[in-house]
Amino acid sequence: MPEHYLHEVIDLLVLGKKFSEVHDFMDSLQPYMQSNHRLYYHDMETVNKIIKTTRDPRAGASAYLHIWLDSISMQVGHAESVPILLKMIQSGQIRI
């Protein structure tokens, strides 16, 4: 799992603001479930609930990017995950 500061770096670069509370919520089960915490709160239903609850589409985008960063990180490791995600956004592979 990427450290929260990596999620916040993505937030700042892509959305212009950190959404720490989004990442805290999404990873709230991690201390109890380790990597299995991603079975919960890492889906589009959660993204939509965050948008509805916060009334901020950027908070939902942060949750969406959180899911992507976690997924990429599991495949290639933490160090490579941020540049790969940024390239995917820039190339249009991931739409926000």
For residue 33, being part of any structural domain is answered with: yes
For residue 67, being part of any structural domain is answered with: yes
For residue 83, being part of any structural domain is answered with: yes
pTM: 0.91
Domain total of the chain: 1
Q: What is the domain range of residue 25? A: 4-91
Q: What is the pLDDT of residue 38?
A: 80
Alpha helices in the chain (DSSP H): 4-10, 20-26, 30-33, 44-54, 57-76, 78-91
State which residues of the chain have pLDDT below 50.
Answer: none
For residue 96, being part of any structural domain is answered with: no
Q: What is the pLDDT of residue 1?
A: 60
For residue 44, being part of any structural domain is answered with: yes
For residue 48, being part of any structural domain is answered with: yes
Q: What is the pLDDT of residue 31?
A: 74
Torsion sign across C-alpha atoms 31, 32, 34, 36: negative
For residue 31, being part of any structural domain is answered with: yes
